[in-house]
Homo-oligomer: A and B are copies of this chain.
Amino acid sequence: MEQLLFWCDLIGIVVFAFSGVLAAGHKQMDLFGAVVLACVTATGGGTLRDMILNVPVFWLQDTHYLWLASATGVVSFYLIRYLQVPMRLLKIADAMGLAVFVVIGTQKVLGLGHSAAIAIVMGVMTGTFGGLIRDLLAGDIPLLLRREIYATAALSGAAALVLLDASGTLPGEIVVAIAILVTLSIRLAALRWNLSAPIARFGNHG
């Protein structure tokens, strides 16, 4: 289980850092701006989670996360010069990061003994906050707030983890894997078929 979460964490760092560089590429930022955006995207969600929970921030404890995010940033910076990279790739990398970080965040908060409601909220925050800062800093409308089943996918994955964990019938690794797949498949399905949840509307459509 430790092992599984560790690898998921690394994957989340890498794909979110990559999505940060893609966003930097769309705005033609320079190398160090891109690396900063990569690091912020990769670590933002977990940083806010740990600050709110008042536990030590994860990358202060283990510097490998920062090295991995920076290295991914530098490599991606040169890599994207040899790629045709549409906006869709940014959304897919973001979806993978979202899926693993929502589930890791929810799992970590459950493990600290918090209630299911808090675990779900903190899980959604862990998964969505890094991408939210990325979009804010790059001057884009946050993916989180577009009509693309983003918050819905995160909520579903966190809720799946909490429910399966409470039922106690499946081993922890399977529960984590299912919750990641739930988030990822809802989000990718929404991207593939342009699904959307009900939209906020005023009476005068104003």
Question: A residues near B, CB below 8 A?
Answer: 21, 24-25, 27-37, 39, 47, 51-54, 56-57, 60, 63, 66-67, 77, 80-86, 114-115, 117-118, 121, 124, 128, 132, 136-139, 141-142, 144-152, 155, 196-204, 206
CB-contact partner of A31 in B83, B142, B198, B204, under 8 A: B198
Q: Is the CB of B56 within 8 A of A60?
A: no
Mind listing 21 A-B residue pairs with CB under 8 Å? A24-B145, A24-B200, A25-B202, A28-B147, A30-B199, A31-B200, A32-B151, A32-B197, A33-B144, A52-B60, A54-B54, A54-B56, A80-B201, A81-B201, A81-B203, A83-B202, A84-B203, A85-B202, A86-B206, A137-B142, A139-B141
Please tell me how many copies of the chain the complex holds: 3
Q: Is the CB of A51 within 8 A of B53?
A: no
Q: Is the CB of A118 within 8 A of B60?
A: yes
Q: In the complex, A196→B37 CA distance in Å?
A: 17
A25 partner residues in chain B, CB cutoff 8 A? 200-202
- Given A21-B200, A33-B150, 20 other A-B residues pairs in contact with their CB atoms under 8 A: A25-B202, A27-B145, A28-B199, A28-B200, A30-B147, A30-B151, A30-B197, A32-B149, A32-B197, A33-B151, A47-B52, A54-B57, A60-B118, A77-B198, A82-B203, A83-B203, A84-B203, A84-B206, A85-B203, A136-B137
Q: Closest residue of chain B to A135, judged by CB? A: B137
CB-contact partner of A33 in B77, B81, B145, under 8 A: B145
